[in-house]
Amino acid sequence: MKKVTDERLEKELKLSEEIEMGRVNELVPVLQKLPTIEVAEILSELSEGKLLEVLSMLTREQQAQVFSDFDFDLQYLLFDRLDRWQFASIFEWVPSEIRADFFQEISREEQIQLLPYLVKSVRKDVIELSKYPPETAGGIMSTDFATVIETMTTNEAIAKVRADAPSQKMIYYIYVVDEDMMMRGFVTLKDLILAEPNQMVSEILHSEYVYAEVEEDRETVAQKVEKYDLVAIPVLNNKRQLVGIVTHDEAIEVIRAEQTEDMEKFMGIVPDGEDVDYLGTTFWQHFKKRAAWLVSLAALGIVSGFIIHRYETTLEEMIILALFIPMLADAGGNSGSQAATVVIRALSLGQLKVGDWLKIIWKECRIAVFLGLALGILAYGKVLVLSHGTELPGDYGLPYVAFVIAIAISIQVLTATVIGAVFPLFVKAMGGDPAVAASPAITTVVDVTGLLLYFGIAILMLGL
C-alpha cells in the first residue's frame, strides 16, 4: 500500500512540474481522467496563474468537484481572483453542504457581494443551510436528495426522481413524504424498479427508519450513520418535515474531526476548531495550542517539588529512595493514562455511562492489582541489580528495601489506574468533555499522589 501511495504522489508531483513548464494543453485531458481528489492535489501544487489557467479548461462540473476538494484557502483564492459571474457559475455546481460551509467562512460583506450572482434556488438553499450552527445536523446536512409523494404510483415516482436529478451517490435512498413534506418513510431505487408500474408508493415504503433532528449534535448524527451503516440519514425539523440529509461522507469527516479534537484535548493541546494540516499551521498557533496546558500543569507540578523538599531528611537518610522516584512517576503516569484512554474511548462509543462508575472501578482495580504485581516484581529485581553492593544505613538489608520500593510502586499503579478511570467519569458527570481529562493532567496528579504514597510507605516500613 505504501509503495502504491508513493508512486501516486510521485506521479502527481511530476504532473505538477510538467504543467508549470507549460504543457497545459497536453495534460488537461490526462487530468480529466483522474479522480477529482487527485486533480485537486495536483492543482494545489501549482502557482496561482497556472492553477487558474488549468481550472478554466475543465468543465463546470469538474471545476465544482475540484473546488469541493480544495481546502478553504484555495477555495477563497478562486473566490477572490475570479469575477463574480464566473465564480457563481462554478459555485452553483458545488454540493450544497460545501457551499454552506464556504458561505459561512467568508465575511458578511463578501456574502452580500456573492448572493446577487446566484440563481434563485441556489441563493435560497445557501441562505437556508447557513443559518444552522456548524456543530449541528443542520450545519452539515445536504439538500441533494430525491423525494416522492406517498400517493404517487411507482411510475410517477420514477419520473419525479428524474426531475429532482440528485447526484448518483445520493440516489440510493428516495424519501417518501406527504404534501406538507412530512416524512413517511423511504424506498430504494431497487424497490421502485422492481415494483409494478401502477403500484402505490405507500404500499412499498419502509416506514421504520432512523433520522436526525436538525438541532442534534453532529457527532451524535455521525454515530447513528456509523451504527446503522447508512449511506445517508434524513434530517427532520420539529414538525417532522424533511429538510435535508447527512451523507456517509460527511459523517466520516465529522468522526475524523471529533477524534482529532479528542486526541488533542487528551494530550493537553487546546483545539482551535480549524482543520488545518501540520505544515499549514504557523509555529505561533502550535505554541498557543500547547502552552496553556503545559504552563498550568508545570505550575501544579511545583507541588511535587514541595513534597520532595518536605521529605528531604528522609532522602538524606536513605538516598536509594531518590534513585527510583523516576520509575515511580513513569509507572503511575503510564498506568493512569492507559486507564483514562480506555474509559474515554468507551464513553465516546456509548459503551459506558457515568452510572457504571462502580463497575468500572471494580474492573480497573482487578486489572491494576495484576499490573501492580508485575511492575512490583520488576521493580524489586531492578533495585537488587542496580543497587547491588550499596551500603544502607540502619539494620535493613537491600532485599527488604527493594521490597518496600516494590510495594510502593505496586500501590502507585493501583491508585493511578483508579484515578485515570475516575477522572473522565467525574468530568463527564460535571457536564464537561471527558477528553479534557488529559494525559498530562493525569500524569501530574498521580505524580503528586504517588510521591505522598512513596514516602509514606517508606517511613512506615523503614522507620525513617
Q: CATH number for the domain including 217?
A: 3.10.580.10
Q: Examine the domain organization and report whether 307 and 391 are in the same domain.
A: yes
Range of the domain at 306: 301-462
Q: Examine the domain organization and report whether 337 and 188 are in the same domain.
A: no
CATH number for the domain that contains residue 44: 1.25.60.10
Rounded Cα distance between 372 and 412, Å, is 8
Rounded Cα distance between 134 and 114, Å, is 21
Q: Examine the domain organization and report whether 87 and 224 are in the same domain.
A: no
Element (H, E) at 232: strand 232-236
Query: Per the domain annotation, does 52 fall within a domain?
Result: yes
Rounded Cα distance between 398 and 400, Å, is 5
Pick the closest to residue 440 from 326, 308, 361, 336 (CA basis).
Answer: 336
Q: Give the pLDDT score at 77.
A: 92
Q: Report whether 373 contacts 410 (CB < 8 A).
A: yes
Beta bridge partners of 185: 176
Q: Give the pLDDT score at 278.
A: 59
Q: Give the pLDDT score at 221.
A: 92
DSSP strand pairing (183-188 vs 173-177)? antiparallel
Domain finish residue from 177, 212, 247: 247
Q: Give the pLDDT score at 2.
A: 46
SS3 label, residue 153:
strand
Q: Give the pLDDT score at 431.
A: 77
Q: Examine the domain organization and report whether 54 and 78 are in the same domain.
A: yes
Element (H, E) at 148: strand 146-149
Query: Per the domain annotation, does 278 fall within a domain?
Result: no
Q: Give the pLDDT score at 319.
A: 85
Beta bridge partners of 148: 176
Q: Examine the domain organization and report whether 376 and 317 are in the same domain.
A: yes
- Alpha-carbon dihedral sign for residues 234, 237, 241, 242: negative
Q: Examine the domain organization and report whether 331 and 424 are in the same domain.
A: yes
Kindly list the averaged pLDDT for each block of 10 residues, start to end, along the chain of length 464.
52 68 73 84 85 86 90 91 91 89 90 88 86 88 88 91 72 86 90 90 92 92 89 91 89 80 61 57 69 69 79 82 88 88 80 86 93 93 84 78 92 92 85 68 84 90 78
CATH number for the domain that contains residue 436: 1.10.357.20
Q: Examine the domain organization and report whether 121 and 158 are in the same domain.
A: no
Q: Give the pLDDT score at 436.
A: 64
Q: Examine the domain organization and report whether 197 and 325 are in the same domain.
A: no
Q: Give the pLDDT score at 4.
A: 43
Q: Give the pLDDT score at 410.
A: 94
Q: Give the pLDDT score at 3.
A: 46
Query: Per the domain annotation, does 267 fall within a domain?
Result: no
Q: Give the pLDDT score at 414.
A: 94
Distance between first and last Cα of the chain: 61
Query: Per the domain annotation, does 140 fall within a domain?
Result: no
Domain finish residue from 99, 132, 165: 132
Q: Give the pLDDT score at 289.
A: 65
Rounded Cα distance between 343 and 421, Å, is 6
Query: Per the domain annotation, does 23 fall within a domain?
Result: yes
Q: Examine the domain organization and report whether 374 and 436 are in the same domain.
A: yes
Q: Give the pLDDT score at 91.
A: 93
- Please give the tally of structural domains in the chain: 3
Query: Per the domain annotation, does 116 fall within a domain?
Result: yes
Q: Examine the domain organization and report whether 152 and 127 are in the same domain.
A: no
Q: Phi and psi dihedrals of 315, rounded to 5?
A: -65, -35
Q: Examine the domain organization and report whether 126 and 31 are in the same domain.
A: yes
Q: Examine the domain organization and report whether 307 and 447 are in the same domain.
A: yes
Rounded (to 5) percent helix, strand, coil in the chain: 70, 10, 25
The length of the chain is 464
Rounded Cα distance between 246 and 233, Å, is 5
C-alpha cell at 116: 446577487
